[in-house]
Chains A and B, each alone.
Chain A
Amino acid sequence: MRIFRNLKELYRYRVLIQNLVVRELKARYRGTVLGFLWSFFNPLLLMIVYTAVFGLIISPRDPAFESKPLIYALYLFCGILPWHWFASSTLESANVLMINGNLIKKILFPAEILPVVTVTSNMIHFFFGLPIVLVFIPILGKKLTPYVLLLPVVIFVQYVFTLAFNLMISSLTVHFRDIKDILANWLTFWFFATPIIYPMTFGTIQSSAPLRLMLNLNPMTHIIQGYQYCLFYGGLFHWKRLGVTFLVSLAFFVVGYMIFDRLRDSFAEEV
């Protein structure tokens, strides 16, 4: 099958992918005083802002978070960090073929490397943020459990899903530039349609079957919940749901790759 041949080809280019990811990470903070430290500071500052806003201003006291605002801030952060990986990858992927048009037009190499590099370098940024969560969990009064060790499973599922979605977005945006603008709005909606700022256990969600269905049909729901179980709740995630999400992501990946492959020949003249 073509997809296997493509994947094999992609594997052949792993050194290039690796180098491009490094380049991406280096270039991002080139010229800043703090350099790589920004990868830590950005999530740290974000965490501090959440803690301040929810601890001092909004101060939600919901029994789901032991009636403590700071616990809520931690919950929020556990969801936002992986969401940020997904959202920024997607927004960057929408542009990645156009920005690197020069490469596609002038050098022979598989174009899917570009979204792969985007998703991977954003994942590494996510990795930089993870220690911040791990440090804040005990500080804000939760306990780290061995379930943290299951994180790689969730990360893998998210990687497959993000890449699948980004392959599709990056190739379609070449033809339909409008997608970029639609995407920004769509991602905002998607963010609120994923249990990041609220838990699935909220009464409003539990009492409304359509709402529950909508949330459960969203693959990101199960991925984000996976993180919340590993980090926040300290328990085993719904492995069946995550398993289904993984299968859906795989299918999605095949479709995304097929679309990308189908449009591949048009890139050199359209970007």
Chain B
Amino acid sequence: MQAIEVDHVSRIYQKYSARHRFQTFKSALVKGDLFRALRPDELVTALDDVTLSVEKGQTFGVIGENGSGKSTLLKLIAGIAKPTTGEVRTHGKISALIELGAGFHPEITGRENVFINGIMLGLTKKEISGKFDEIVEFAGLEDFIDAPVKTYSSGMYMRLGFAIAINVNPEILLIDEVLAVGDASFIPKCLDRIDDFRRRQKTILFVSHDLITVDKICDRVAWLKNGRVQMIGEPKRLVDAYLQDVAEKQERSFEKRQKEPPAVAQDQEERRENRWGKREVEITRVVLKNTHGEEKHVFSPEEGLLIEMDVIAHSPADDFVFGMGLFNSQGICCYGTNTLLEDYEPVSIQGEGKVVCRIEKLGLVNGTYYLDVAVHKRDGYPYDYHRNLYSFLVSSTHKDVGIGRLSHGWSFSPGIGVKSPQR
């Protein structure tokens, strides 16, 4: 039995520019034809031939980047918007958590808003009276329910909205990224409620950027990309594929940024500030690669990093030290070393050459990192110092924190029941 069927649905949004609007208003008055004048001048395809179905009792996740059509899909299923072509069929009462507390009136009390919002969501007055205490308790607003909603904090506002919506007791629950705003104690409460829903064989459509939760609670996942269904299937596989895609995209945009020549004068100024030394020995080019020798800018923490420096000694030298330093976005040095500290004895350098620093495993946490490279004399006299001129991203599904990821593992005595991660 299908709870939601989306059948070859497209949704095209129309854009009316301000100038166009003015012209049409004039011409609409002159010609007396309002409808013809309402023709849009630009079309945006938010959803393009999307087909998917959700079985009753299933928890279905929808992932995708911003602007990929997730919210549009949700609105179509909720019936708030109509598909341009295709058909959406739903079986059972729907409650949509698209924006919590949409329709709260700031001037009237929480109590009155509960009633009006409940009626808007399809409850009768009697049903609301019956559930009123439960709603207030769930929201934790016993002391404030008779205060005007404008005095609520945004968290209180959201909690009340969620409490009402979840108590509509729908057959189909649509959730759009609403858990993102809750505080640490409220989110588990919401997730409990969602779990409770799943146990009672209700259908849930869950749109989120929180891939860990998607992976945890969903039975099936659809990945939307640019308004099209990229993939539908088992959560783990999809989340991984999606992350891979995001990483590739980051890679491309990073590459583009790195390749852009520092054309602006100010940029050059900045570069000069971040690079000093007389360049008797010069670092002409720095390339970041993984251990397979592929040029990259986005790395997983498990990957290795090669820092390749092309160097040229304009005059022969026998006192030189190569160094590097890794800084995170807060400017904290995560690691730094040079050839002198590691007891490489400089003998001679002349003409062109290549220096490679090989890190077997990055072991850093998520974030952007900046790289210093330098060549200088043993006493510190700089030949060529590049400060924060290169950057790369570390991206992973783990949300661990700190400066670096220490190589570690967990073990438990037999009395402690633990399910290992499947990764």
Is A31 a contact of B21 with CB atoms below 8 Å? no
Query: Which positions 66-109 of chain A face chain B at CB distance < 8 Å?
Result: 100, 102-109
Per-position 1/0 for A99-121, Cβ under 8 A of B = 01011111111000000000000
Report B-chain residues with C-beta under 8 Å of the C-beta of A142. Answer: none
Q: Is A268 an interface residue (CB 8 A)?
A: yes
A27 to B106, CA, bound (A): 9
Query: Which positions 237-262 of chain A face chain B at CB distance < 8 Å?
Result: 259, 262
Is A108 a contact of B82 with CB atoms below 8 Å? no
Is A176 a contact of B25 with CB atoms below 8 Å? yes
Is B102 a contact of A172 with CB atoms below 8 Å? no
Query: Which positions 70-115 of chain B face chain A at CB distance < 8 Å?
Result: 75, 78-82, 94, 96, 98-99, 102-103, 105, 107-108, 112, 115
Is A103 a contact of B120 with CB atoms below 8 Å? yes
Report B-chain residues with C-beta under 8 Å of the C-beta of A100. Answer: 103
Count of chain A residues with a beta carbon within 8 Å of a chain B beta carbon: 30
Is B124 a contact of A15 with CB atoms below 8 Å? yes
Is B102 a contact of A102 with CB atoms below 8 Å? yes
Count of chain B residues with a beta carbon within 8 Å of a chain A beta carbon: 34
Report B-chain residues with C-beta under 8 Å of the C-beta of A106. Answer: 80, 96, 98-99, 102-103
Residue of A nearest to B18 (CB): A177
Name the residue in B79, B98, B119 with the highest tally of chain A Cβ atoms < 10 Å from its Cβ.
B119
Is A103 a contact of B112 with CB atoms below 8 Å? no
Known: A27-B105, A30-B148, A269-B14. A108 touches B99 (CB 8 A): no
Query: Which positions 1-22 of chain B face chain A at CB distance < 8 Å?
Result: 13-14, 16, 21-22
Report B-chain residues with C-beta under 8 Å of the C-beta of A23. Answer: 105, 108, 112, 116
Q: Is A143 an interface residue (CB 8 A)?
A: no
Is B125 a contact of A15 with CB atoms below 8 Å? yes
Report B-chain residues with C-beta under 8 Å of the C-beta of A178. Answer: 22, 25
A262 to B99, CA, bound (A): 26
Known: A20-B116, A106-B98, A106-B99. A262 touches B35 (CB 8 A): yes
Q: Is B38 an interface residue (CB 8 A)?
A: yes
Report A-chain residues with C-beta under 8 Å of the C-beta of B94. Answer: 108
Q: Is B34 an interface residue (CB 8 A)?
A: yes
The contact of B120 among A31, A109, A176, A263, by CB within 8 Å, is A109
Is A19 a contact of B116 with CB atoms below 8 Å? yes
Residue of B nearest to A106 (CB): B102
Q: Is A266 an interface residue (CB 8 A)?
A: yes
Q: Is A212 an interface residue (CB 8 A)?
A: no
Is A176 a contact of B21 with CB atoms below 8 Å? yes
The contact of A19 among B21, B34, B38, B119, by CB within 8 Å, is B119
Q: Is B403 an interface residue (CB 8 A)?
A: no
Q: Is B145 an interface residue (CB 8 A)?
A: no
Is A103 a contact of B78 with CB atoms below 8 Å? no
Residue of A nearest to B115 (CB): A19
Task: Give the interface of B toward A (CB within 8 A).
Answer: 13-14, 16, 21-22, 25, 28, 34-35, 38, 75, 78-82, 94, 96, 98-99, 102-103, 105, 107-108, 112, 115-116, 119-121, 124-125, 148
Q: Contacts A30-B108, A107-B103 given; 13 further ones with Cβ under 8 A?
A: A15-B124, A16-B120, A19-B115, A19-B116, A30-B148, A102-B103, A105-B75, A105-B102, A108-B96, A178-B25, A266-B14, A269-B14, A270-B16
Task: Give the interface of A toward B (CB within 8 A).
Answer: 15-16, 19-20, 23, 26-27, 30-31, 100, 102-109, 172, 175-176, 178, 259, 262-263, 265-266, 268-270
